[in-house]
Structure 1
Amino acid sequence: MKTILLAAATALAIPATASAHFLLEYTEDTMIEAPGEVPVKLIFWHPFENGHVMDLEMPQEFFVLHNGERTDLLGTLEPVTFTGGENEGAALVGAVPVRRSGDYVLVTVPQPYFEASEDLYIQQITKAFLNRNQLPTDWAEPVGLPTEIVPLNKPYNVIAGSTFSGQVLRDGAPAAGVEIEIEYMAAEPDMTSGAATQPVVTPPPGGSVVAVTGPDGTFTFGVPRAGHWGFAALGSGPVTEHEGKELSQDAVIWIRAWDLE
């Protein structure tokens, strides 16, 4: 009993994390009108409160899927510096060729990042979505990643005030009981200056916004505001160790919500 009480007291003494690490695949627009090369920035950051920027290495994979066809984009990436509200860090800028109508599913498989404060590695396998000419093609299909979130709503035109649902997969199978951290991109990257804009809102009290997947690996979140929303399924991947330390292999998805006008 003493051991249990001591453990409980220790847990209460640990402050709750107010914000979460999120890998961004940021483009100024998600609905693309004219064909061309769409600039994209990869940033590892805390965008809800314009917090700490983590250094991002060249990823293991960076590609786009369109009509089921994969195009490697690693060769488009170049190192840049991104300045957040607290510090500056290494980021990457690349380009996505968007020409034909349909969905463009951006995928980044980063190098594991060592978080010294937690003594573990984090690998956020991330998806984001672009569309041209409002023709849906690929958004609802699994990519075949070790872990991923498959959207159950079209992810680039969610209506603010409605809900968004997703299904977390681990090796292609539903992953139940997975904690989902939810992040609003209150501060957005300025593609020209390389710095963050000022946050338009502040995070709510109580720490990170969290949901948990049900038996079929699904979750639903009521989207209260227009903008970019991120969902991170923590430790949902099958790989749990890297270089002798714990690895949190997370699935991340970014969606875009809009106000009705």
Structure 2
Amino acid sequence: MGSADVQLSSGIPKTTFTVRLNNLSFLLLLIFLWFNFSCSVISHNSGYDANPVFTPFHEKAGEIKASAGYGRVLGIQANASYSLSNHFALMGGGVYNHQTISTVGFFNPVYFKMKSHYAEGAIGYYFSLPGKVFTQVEIFAGLGTGVLHKKTDSDQDFSSYQEWRSKFKKPFLQISVRKSAADNLEVGFANRLSVVRFRALNYTAYADTARYRKIGTLITEPVLVVSYGKLLKATSQMGVAIPLTKALKTSSGTSFSNASILFQLGIKYTFR
């Protein structure tokens, strides 16, 4: 990627400071700010909050990868994986999201009161592609189960809140690719295709409700994953959960879909 030079004068004759702005870094900063802003806006109207995608990227047999992170309205996530051989691996993890927070909306703050949790497990196959644009590929298939209880309001007293309650199971197929961009810097892309099967999906608001039982929706969840470090890596991911099936409706006829933002900052460590 290119870069730009910005000359800043200090007010002292013949003295200037040069700041180099890398285009990729600037773009990632804009994406970071947008996702931090929109996370509350989109997740405000959803009965499903997608858990962050775990991408272990094993390189050989006997590795243990452990990660932990925080996703703002998505809560705290922890994951671990173990490579059974040079090509097969197991992974598992979950999300704990019991918190009350205030976030930024388009015009007003959005308040969340949440008591949700989620767990998943998967088996995967990974392999390397030496000399290719993306040097590593991994494919995981698994099953998750979760409970969501979320109240949202523009009032911190929750006097006119919207409330979501759902219980669901989620079979998923996840494909991830990775490229080493520079020393200790890795960029990865992943897409998780999920079939969210709601055992119950309830929505309550002033003069409006929705009640669904045993209903499913197909959701694609593309994410960008950036990590930096050697054995201990700082990680970040940004993505979106996009429903591919028809939107649902409340009793008043208002359409809603179970879209959400995936956003997380965390760490990952490799035990060898």
The normalised TM-score by structure 2 is 0.26
Q: Which structure's CA Rg is the greater one?
A: 2
Flag the structure with more relative contact order, 1 or 2, with Cα contacts below 8 A and sequence separation at least 6: 1
